[in-house]
Amino acid sequence: MTSRRHNGEGSIFPYRNGYAAYVWVTKPDGTRDRKYVYGKDRETVHDKWLKLHQQAKQGPIATTAMTVGKFVVYWLREIVEPNLSPGTYVTYEGACRNYIVPGLGGKRLDRLANTDVQTWLNHTRRTCQCCAQGKDARRPTVKQRCCALGNCCQDLPSDTTVRGLRRIIRAMITCAIDAGLVSQNVAKKTRLPKARRPKRTTWTSAQARQFLEYVRVEDERFYAAYVLLLVLGLRKGEILGLTWDQIDLDSGELVPNFQVQRVGKQLLRREVKTETSEQPLPLPGICVVALRRHRDGLVAAGKPVEPDDLLFTTVTGMPVEPRNFNRYWDRAVWGAGVVRITVRAARATCATLLKALNVHPRIAQRILRHAQVSITMEIYTDVIDDDTRDALGKLGDLLE
């Protein structure tokens, strides 16, 4: 007795120089359509037909081929931009435009192989991006100085950039899997050289004290900002996004809800990235005194302090540009005569100062936002001389 095919099973039939088969599948948009497979002999097509049946049972399947370039457009517009932060979108869009689409955009998404991604990553690491992206060629003729003149500047991407590209294409293909366009993430199987953690220069407690004592006199406008940076380890954007209603000087608490961030041509004040970053932070005495001094200075200058006013603004009352804050910091570091470190590296000095101020490890854990106190204790072991400890501990009182 012959068994009949059930509705939706499709069929195998001669096609050109071989065979073809189709199966009725559900597309990502919810509609039904035929999906075809091809081969030179019936056995090969039969195996593909069975595999397609299995995939159709597991979820939606696209019936038309989509290139990596076309999927990138969809992914950025429908997934990244509405759901992730503006800064993340700008980063992803730039990586796709400058690296992923030129290297992989023409390949079919469902045929993208591990070897394709691995070769692309290796090629990117070895390619001068000034040549590949036409950076020098886009300059006016009189300002061209390297690649456009035939003198390659060897502007190779850093290891951090290449790892970021792999992370982005992994995220993109994961989204394609969720949409039923591919079955596996080929980018997960790629290999890159082991990254070496760069050594970051930080200040000792004595250097931090020297810097704070200098800016207390010479740069009073941002003194409180530098105290929050060094003692609380706040991020640059969080400091520039602080308003007075986020600070309770009487109870000694601060809640960093917002941040100022440069996104393309816009300067945005938006919520911080994670809920953990919004946890109330205890204010050590030096922070309370510095903030009160800052507030009194504004009032004395004829600038009324309202709850929703930013703590730190330009002379015209506008939010401070994050890059300009870096310049103010570099200028103050040079004036204080201490080893130059970046604003980001200054956050790493926070644990040293908390130890010098005799802050309890549990409170330091809250300030540093560590999940476990053992992590705090690993970096909370700087040896500090008594003079430095006493000077830092009394610095808040000296401000008065």
> What is the DSSP annotation of 167-196?
HHHHHHHHHHHHTTS-SS-GGGG---PPPP
Mean pLDDT of the chain: 82
Structure tokens that stand for 282 in this block: 């205890």
Q: 362 vs 150, which has greater pLDDT?
A: 150
Q: Report domain extents, the chain.
A: 11-58, 68-189, 205-399
Q: Given 1.10.3470.10, 1.10.150.130, 1.10.1070.20, 1.10.8.620, which CATH number is that of 68-189?
A: 1.10.150.130
For residue 11, pLDDT beyond 80: no
Contact 17/38 with Cβ under 8 angstroms?
Answer: no
For residue 353, pLDDT beyond 90: no
Q: DSSP class of residue 248?
A: E
pLDDT score recorded for residue 183: 81
- Please state, in angstroms and rounded to a whole number, the distance separating the CA atoms of residues 314 and 321: 9
Of the listed ranges 54-63, 79-88, 117-126, 205-214, the least confidently predicted one is: 54-63
For residue 28, pLDDT beyond 80: no
For residue 391, pLDDT beyond 60: no
Maximum mean pLDDT: which of 163-177, 186-200, 263-277, 309-323:
163-177
Residue pLDDT, tens place only, 105-158: 999 998 899 999 999 999 999 999 999 998 888 889 888 888 888 889 999 999
Question: For the domain bounded by 205-399, which CATH number is listed?
Answer: 1.10.443.10
Contact 135/141 with Cβ under 8 angstroms?
Answer: no
Question: Residues in the chain, how many?
Answer: 400
pLDDT score recorded for residue 170: 95
- The proportion of the chain whose per-residue pLDDT surpasses 70, expressed as a percent, equals 82
- Give the model's confidence band at 76: pLDDT under 50 very low, under 70 low, under 90 confident, else very high: very high
pTM as predicted: 0.70
Q: What are 124's strand-pairing partners?
A: none
- Please state, in angstroms and rounded to a whole number, the distance separating the CA atoms of residues 112 and 68: 8
Same fold, 68-189 and 205-399: no
Residue pLDDT, tens place only, 257-314: 888 888 777 787 777 665 555 577 778 788 888 999 999 888 888 888 888 888 898 8
pLDDT score recorded for residue 197: 67
Region of 369 on the Ramachandran plot (φ > 0 left; ψ -120 to 50 alpha; else beta): left
Q: How many helices (H) and strands (E) does the chain have?
A: 18, 8
Which one, of 183, 185, 179, lies nearest residue 28 by Cα? Answer: 179
Sign of the dihedral through C-alpha 10, 16, 19, 20: negative
For residue 233, pLDDT beyond 90: no
Mean pLDDT of 242-266: 84
For residue 64, pLDDT beyond 80: no
Sign of the dihedral through C-alpha 339, 340, 341, 346: positive
User: What residue has token string 């060094």?
Assistant: 230
- Please state, in angstroms and rounded to a whole number, the distance separating the CA atoms of residues 128 and 137: 13
pLDDT score recorded for residue 383: 40
- Order the strands of the 18-26 sheet from edge to edge: 11-15, 18-26, 32-39
pLDDT score recorded for residue 120: 95
Contact 232/254 with Cβ under 8 angstroms?
Answer: yes
Q: 192 vs 382, which has greater pLDDT?
A: 192
- Give the model's confidence band at 357: pLDDT under 50 very low, under 70 low, under 90 confident, else very high: low
What are phi and psi for residue 366, nearest 5 degrees?
-65, -40
For residue 375, pLDDT beyond 70: no
pLDDT score recorded for residue 395: 47
Q: Are strands 18-26 and 247-248 parallel, antiparallel or unpaired?
A: unpaired
pLDDT score recorded for residue 205: 77
Q: 363 vs 72, which has greater pLDDT?
A: 72
- Give the model's confidence band at 388: pLDDT under 50 very low, under 70 low, under 90 confident, else very high: very low
- Give the model's confidence band at 5: pLDDT under 50 very low, under 70 low, under 90 confident, else very high: low
pLDDT score recorded for residue 369: 64
Q: 29 vs 255, which has greater pLDDT?
A: 255
- Please state, in angstroms and rounded to a whole number, the distance separating the CA atoms of residues 341 and 230: 12
> Please, what is the Cα angle at 293 between 292 and 299, to 5 degrees?
90
pLDDT score recorded for residue 273: 63
Mean pLDDT of 374-391: 51
Mean pLDDT of 175-180: 85
- Give the model's confidence band at 356: pLDDT under 50 very low, under 70 low, under 90 confident, else very high: low
